[in-house]
């Protein structure tokens, strides 16, 4: 699938923030803890969700879409011998299956994970966390071998404050009777999603939103539960960036403000004018939402380098949007993407659309603006966020652009073409 964009057109109107890709895939993994029927409401229809559903169905789960809800009914026994390896290897989210599967099997293999191509992304923090519960994990070239003899509650100090490592530790602790403590935990939005879901399953979780989580596990979970996926801060950030690059004023409703505050602070210091209104909670009772209206603004480069940090810092997945925003800010912006070895290199693809970048090393890049972006034909980078900033740049580049092989974008963004069309963008799907 390819996108054809006639760029340089202003956007206007209102767009609703879609539901969280990272929350949705984490909840699909967490549903493996439940012997009863789980209904996940407002699930995004994206490729990452599709891959995990294929995996769940291949090991015996019955899954049906009822509107935007996904209903998951577990079998009497799961069968990992029939796992869809192709689907599993396309998503790094498969790693989060380890935590719940240790409660179903004393020994099992899981395919090595894929997902975005962002350099070396070690799984050692997962291994070091789970070994505290009595789990042994060894990795071969294409498989993780997981085993244990007895699971025990534990105090876990995470090697790094990673989202998926924290979720794996949570899912492991959830069905181990007794109290486990997870220190240096991520407090990011998908982690809070899982904590809320575990509470709905009857698991006590204290410290939600902090870096220390205390989990009182239960031996069995067999309940009928419904839980709604919350809104996605990176979806809201996509439309913030699109409005800036197209010099437009739009309103983004139901934006999860707690996970956008640092981003908006930086943009405010750069000159973005915006208002926030209508505060309310998402259906999970945890996620605070606002409507965000931005005005046409002249931006200056950030006087400080822009770099991500674990929550409550600037979200790692929102950092790439500052690269394309920087093309429209007067001055030179330094972006330090210290987490991934290759992602900053992808930002140089913006040069093919007229940007002026200076790559200092695999982690640091300077971007000079403002730049009049120009149209081009590009192949989509094999990583979700770098792919989306190319799309944003094409929306701002006057003329006809084509973005080929957009699977990376469809992994994480639902109905992105129709939502952009609703705002007045000239974008079409082309399959030739």
pLDDT at 119: 44
Residue 365 forms beta bridges with which residues?
Answer: 335, 359
pLDDT at 367: 98
Domain boundary among 174, 199, 228: 228
Do residues 155 and 261 both lie within one domain?
A: no
Smallest CA-to-CA distance from 357 within 334, 336, 339 is with: 334
Do residues 385 and 289 both lie within one domain?
A: yes
Do residues 220 and 326 both lie within one domain?
A: no
pLDDT at 122: 61
Do residues 48 and 136 both lie within one domain?
A: yes
Do residues 298 and 150 both lie within one domain?
A: no
Q: Give the whole-angstrom CA distance, residue 146 versus residue 137.
A: 5
Sheet holding 38-41, edge to edge: 62-66, 69-73, 38-41, 225-228
User: The domain containing residue 152 runs over which residues?
Assistant: 21-228
Do residues 260 and 201 both lie within one domain?
A: no
Residue 368 forms beta bridges with which residues?
Answer: 332, 356
Q: Which tokens belong to 130? A: 């789970």
Domain count, the chain: 2
Smallest CA-to-CA distance from 416 within 432, 399, 392, 398 is with: 392
Do residues 63 and 205 both lie within one domain?
A: yes
pLDDT at 353: 98
Q: Which tokens belong to 365? A: 């890049």
pLDDT at 282: 97
Domain boundary among 199, 228, 257: 228
Do residues 10 and 43 both lie within one domain?
A: no
Do residues 212 and 344 both lie within one domain?
A: no
Give the CATH number, domain containing residue 80.
3.65.10.10
Do residues 376 and 276 both lie within one domain?
A: yes
Do residues 41 and 186 both lie within one domain?
A: yes
Do residues 220 and 273 both lie within one domain?
A: no
Digitized pLDDT (tens) for each residue of the chain, 432 residues in all: 999 999 999 999 999 999 999 999 999 999 999 999 999 999 999 999 999 999 999 999 999 999 999 999 999 999 999 999 999 998 888 999 999 999 999 999 999 875 444 344 567 888 889 999 999 988 877 888 999 999 999 999 998 889 999 999 999 999 999 999 999 999 999 999 999 999 999 999 999 999 999 999 999 999 999 999 999 999 999 999 999 999 999 999 999 999 999 999 999 999 999 999 999 999 999 999 999 999 999 999 999 999 999 999 999 999 999 999 999 999 999 999 998 878 899 999 999 999 999 999 999 999 999 999 999 999 999 889 999 999 999 999 999 999 999 999 999 999 999 999 999 999 999 987
Domain boundary among 175, 199, 228: 228
pLDDT at 117: 45
DSSP 9: P
DSSP string, 317-343: TTHHHHHHHHTTEEEEEEEE--S-SSH
């Amino acid at each position: 699938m390819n996108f054809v964009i006639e760029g340089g057109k202003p956007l206007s109107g209102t767009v609703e923030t879609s539901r969280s890709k990272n929350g949705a895939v984490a909840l699909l993994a967490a549903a493996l803890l439940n012997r009863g029927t789980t209904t996940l409401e407002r699930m995004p229809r994206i490729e990452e969700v599709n891959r995990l559903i294929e995996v769940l169905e291949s090991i015996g789960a019955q899954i049906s879409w009822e509107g935007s809800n996904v209903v998951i009914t577990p079998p009497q026994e799961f069968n990992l011998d029939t796992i869809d390896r192709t689907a599993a290897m396309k998503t790094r989210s498969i790693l989060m299956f380890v935590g719940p599967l240790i409660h179903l099997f004393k020994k099992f293999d899981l395919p090595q994970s894929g997902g975005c191509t962002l350099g070396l992304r070690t799984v050692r923090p997962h291994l070091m966390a789970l070994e505290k519960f009595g789990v042994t994990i060894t990795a071969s070239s294409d498989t993780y071998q997981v085993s244990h003899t007895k699971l025990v509650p534990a105090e876990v100090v995470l090697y790094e404050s990673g989202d998926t490592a924290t979720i794996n530790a949570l899912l492991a602790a959830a069905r181990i009777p007794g109290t486990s403590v997870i220190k240096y935990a991520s407090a990011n939005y998908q982690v809070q999603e899982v904590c809320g879901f575990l509470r709905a399953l009857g698991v006590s979780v204290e410290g939600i939103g902090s870096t220390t989580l205390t989990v009182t596990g239960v031996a069995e979970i067999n309940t009928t539960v419904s839980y709604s996926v919350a809104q996605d801060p990176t979806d809201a950030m996509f439309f913030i960036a699109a409005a800036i690059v197209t010099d437009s004023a739009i309103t983004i409703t139901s934006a999860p403000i707690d996970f956008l505050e640092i981003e908006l602070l930086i943009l405010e210091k750069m000159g973005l004018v915006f208002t926030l209104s209508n505060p309310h909670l998402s259906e999970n009772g945890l996620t605070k939402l606002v409507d965000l209206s931005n005005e046409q603004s002249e931006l200056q480069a950030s006087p400080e380098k822009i770099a991500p940090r674990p929550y409550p810092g600037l979200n790692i997945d929102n950092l790439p949007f500052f690269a394309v925003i920087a093309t429209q800010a007067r001055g030179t912006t330094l972006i330090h993407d210290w987490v991934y070895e290759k992602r900053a290199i992808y930002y140089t693809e913006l040069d093919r659309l007229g940007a002026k970048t200076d790559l200092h090393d695999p982690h640091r890049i300077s971007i000079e603006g403002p730049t009049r972006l120009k149209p081009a034909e590009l192949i989509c980078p094999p990583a979700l966020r770098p792919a989306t900033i190319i799309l944003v740049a094409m929306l701002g580049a006057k003329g006809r652009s084509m973005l080929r092989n957009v699977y990376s974008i469809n992994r994480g963004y639902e109905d992105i073409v129709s939502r952009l069309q609703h705002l007045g963008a000239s974008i079409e799907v082309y399959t030739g």
